[in-house]
């Protein structure tokens, strides 16, 4: 939040581990926080995520207008405490992409459709400038996770064909559970010159400022979605899209993903090699045009998101 210009905020971390914060033996700091939330100066409550039963239990105690962000529709559908928030007359919902909104309405029924708004999130940078030149800098956003990112496929392709895609340089801007394993394999396959791994800080993660710098300095984003991983097209979003829109860096995606998200992007045939070929062969002029189109798209999406949020608040 400190990186957002002009934002005023206070932060207080409160665990959701107490089943009933209204109970006589509830910790004082939880009681005081709820008292502040329920004070007259707060017009509504925005929950950053509705993804756990404890969060739903907490939400049921809020009497003010409540807006909750949906991150995973399977969790919402499968966990009764989350589904039961639909019975709360003060509850409204935010989806982070149009395809998630459509799927949510299909599951809960059209009677609830006016209770949800689509608000696309963007990592923020003021007036991004185009980055061109060779070798082309390709950033892979999100935590280094071999289940949700096809690092094995990328390392196998580059390791088995060292002369392939020599005009592409890959940036790993994050930490994550598989970061050490991926770094080790990069070294074992003698691919050090093809990758830049942004250094970890003392916490074992990459700080937000360094992460944002890596995204802002890239020319293309590759989400590196595995072929058999379909959650990003059905029930939730990939942060790679937030990065593309926020920093106006074109992303490469397959046609199913393009049909789901629809911002300006490089559209590739299905498969890792096809996507790398698309990035490698794109002209500087095409990338520059896409960057300009992303600036326009971001302005429109932010405006539409504000309209949707205003509608929920007015309700």
Examine the domain organization and report whether 160 and 231 are in the same domain.
yes
- Which tokens hold the place of 284? 């500087």
Examine the domain organization and report whether 156 and 294 are in the same domain.
yes
Tell me the pTM.
Answer: 0.87
Mean pLDDT across the stretch 1-6?
69
221 pairs with which residues across the strands?
Answer: 139, 251
Examine the domain organization and report whether 109 and 159 are in the same domain.
no
Count of structural domains, the chain: 2
Examine the domain organization and report whether 103 and 158 are in the same domain.
no
3-state secondary structure of 292: helix
Find out whether 307 and 292 touch, Cβ atoms under 8 Å.
no
The answer to whether position 6 is within a domain reads no
Examine the domain organization and report whether 219 and 147 are in the same domain.
yes
The answer to whether position 241 is within a domain reads yes
Examine the domain organization and report whether 183 and 53 are in the same domain.
no
The answer to whether position 156 is within a domain reads yes
Examine the domain organization and report whether 89 and 195 are in the same domain.
no
Crossing angle of the two packed helices 179-188 and 151-160, in degrees rounded to 10: 10
- The more confidently predicted of residues 39 and 144 is 144
The answer to whether position 124 is within a domain reads no
Examine the domain organization and report whether 148 and 238 are in the same domain.
yes
Q: How confident is the model at residue 9 (pLDDT cuts 50, 70, 90)?
A: confident
Residues spanned by the domain of 71: 28-118
Examine the domain organization and report whether 114 and 144 are in the same domain.
no
pLDDT for the residue 14: 64
Examine the domain organization and report whether 141 and 254 are in the same domain.
yes
Query: What's the mean pLDDT when you consider all of the chain?
Result: 89
The answer to whether position 311 is within a domain reads no
Examine the domain organization and report whether 291 and 144 are in the same domain.
yes
CA gap 160, 197 in Å, rounded: 21
The residue length of the chain stands at: 315
């Amino acid at each position: 939040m400190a990186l957002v210009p002009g934002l005023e905020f206070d932060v207080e971390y409160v665990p959701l581990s107490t089943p009933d914060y209204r109970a006589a033996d509830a910790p004082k700091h939880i009681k005081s926080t709820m008292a502040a939330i329920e004070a007259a100066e707060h017009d509504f409550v925005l929950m950053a995520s509705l993804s756990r039963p404890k969060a739903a239990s907490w939400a049921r105690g809020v009497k003010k207008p409540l807006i909750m962000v949906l991150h995973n529709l399977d969790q919402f559908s499968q966990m009764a405490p989350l589904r039961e928030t639909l019975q709360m007359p003060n509850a409204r919902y935010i989806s982070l992409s149009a395809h998630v909104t459509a799927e949510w309405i299909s599951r809960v029924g059209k009677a609830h459709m006016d209770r949800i708004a689509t608000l696309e999130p963007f990592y923020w940078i003021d007036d991004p400038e185009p980055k061109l030149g060779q070798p082309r800098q390709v950033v892979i956003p999100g935590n280094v996770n071999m289940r949700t990112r096809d690092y094995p496929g990328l390392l196998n392709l580059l390791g088995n064909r060292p002369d392939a895609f020599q005009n592409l340089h890959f940036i790993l801007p994050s930490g994550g559970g598989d970061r050490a394993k991926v770094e080790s394999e990069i070294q074992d396959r003698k691919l050090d010159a093809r990758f830049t791994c942004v250094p970890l800080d003392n916490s074992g993660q990459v700080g937000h400022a360094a992460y944002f710098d890596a995204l802002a300095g890239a020319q293309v984003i590759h989400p590196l979605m595995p072929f058999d991983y379909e959650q990003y097209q059905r029930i939730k979003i990939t942060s790679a899209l937030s990065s593309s829109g926020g920093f106006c860096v074109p992303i490469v995606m397959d046609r199913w993903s393009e049909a789901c998200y629809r911002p300006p992007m490089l559209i590739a045939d299905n498969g890792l090699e096809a996507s790398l070929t698309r990035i490698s062969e794109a002209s500087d002029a095409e990338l520059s045009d896409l960057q300009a189109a992303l600036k326009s798209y971001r302005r429109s999406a932010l405006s539409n998101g504000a309209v949707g949020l205003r509608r929920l608040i007015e309700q």
